[in-house]
Structure 1
Amino acid sequence: MVFNFAGKDEKLAGKPVEVGQAASDFTALKRDLTEYEFFKETEGKVVLISSTPSLDTGVCEFQAIRFNEEVSNLSEDVAIVTISCDLPFAQKRFCGANGIDRIEVVSDHRNLSFGNAYGFVIENVRLLARGVVVIDKERVVRYVEYVPAASQHPDYDKAIEAVKALV
């Protein structure tokens, strides 16, 4: 799979995740540097994973803010997780500056656990590609979008519709 990053086509590492397959567990770092264990943290919830290259860019910033706003219109049985390779310190600063307080924002910088498990690692730059994965309460992937270019937004409405159909 290919992702256009900074005007150049880059290969994504790993096998892309597909609708109907079992979700994979992963670990990441929370903004306070404690470990985030995906299955443990989202037990019994429908989950929307929002993958971004870097929160310090306009499209990524918009993506995190949009999903932070959307979660207030969803059931308490829904968790939204934004993941990037930004350092937890930068994520903490970003969340504070932008009022991101309703979604979990975690870092995959340490070992690319999410990126490798879900096929989102941009090989030559060690960042995550943009996309969305929706997982049901039984841990089955129900919606996937790999956005083709860093400059493009995911289909926010389709992703939220996918979540609402599962609760």
Structure 2
Amino acid sequence: MEVKFQGNKVTLVGKQLKVGDQFPEFTVTNNSMEQVTLGDTKGVRIFLTVPSVDTPVCDLEVKTFNKKASEISGVTVYTISMDLPFAQSRWCGSEGIKNVVTLSDYKDREFGNATGTYVKELGLLARTAFVVGSDNKIVYANYLTEITDYPNYEEVLEAAKLAQ
């Protein structure tokens, strides 16, 4: 799959995932500087990767999922970026984000490498959306071909509803 950032081709590190795959193990850091693994997450989950919550496209994406996530009970939305946990916490507080859990892959790039979302040239994560069922199987996977584009919100949310 060819992925671009502002029209320029970039290299994704790691194996790209597809529907039916088992979601890989990972370790990331939450806003309290605690480690979070796949085993710490339960139920139907939406995992979003974004370059940085402090950019306009990512900002709107997370705010949109924050609003729409409150409309679906039993689904947890996680947004993973390379932003430091302190920056994520500050941003969430200033933007009133309460229905999306932000996690950071800054330390070991483990999430990015495990999901094929780490962008070699940028040191950031590509824009992707995964919906994972309670059995840890992927029911929806989308690597956006242009990192600066928005995901299809309704498609992601519909996949999450169907996974319940």
What is the TM-score of this pair, normalised by structure 2?
A: 0.96
**Equivalent AA in structure 1 for residue 10 of structure 2:** E
Partner-residue secondary structure (3-state), 1:73: coil
Query: 1:128-167 CA distances to partner (integer Å, 9 max, x unpaired)?
Result: 0001000001110000010111220011100000000111
Counterpart mapping for 1:5-20 below 5 A: 5-20=5-20
Matched, 1:51 2:49: yes
Percent identical:
34
Matched, 1:97 2:94: yes
Counterpart mapping for 1:42-81 below 5 A: 42-43=41-42, 45-75=43-73, 77-81=74-78
CA distance in 2, matches of 1:54, 1:2: 21
Partner-residue secondary structure (3-state), 2:39: helix
Which residue among 134, 137, 141 is the counterpart of 1:140?
137
Unaligned runs of 5+ in 2: none
Which residue among 75, 87, 91 is the counterpart of 2:84?
87
Tell me if the contact between 1:19 and 1:143 (Cα under 8 Å) persists in the aligned partners.
yes
Tell me if the contact between 1:21 and 1:140 (Cα under 8 Å) persists in the aligned partners.
yes
Number of residues of Structure 1 aligned to a counterpart in Structure 2? 164
CA distance in 1, matches of 2:12, 2:39: 24
Query: 1:34-88 CA distances to partner (integer Å, 9 max, x unpaired)?
Result: 1112222x22x1000011011111110011111111111112x211100000011
CA distance in 2, matches of 1:103, 1:111: 22
Unaligned runs of 5+ in 1: none
CA distance in 1, matches of 2:128, 2:160: 15
Displacement of 1:124 in angstroms is 1.4
Displaced runs of 4+ in structure 1, greater than 2 A? none
**Equivalent AA in structure 1 for residue 84 of structure 2:** L
CA distance in 2, matches of 1:139, 1:72: 22
Equivalent position of 2:104 in the other structure: 107
CA distance in 2, matches of 1:33, 1:85: 14
Tell me if the contact between 1:3 and 1:122 (Cα under 8 Å) persists in the aligned partners.
no
Displacement of 1:126 in angstroms is 1.2
Equivalent position of 1:30 in the other structure: 30
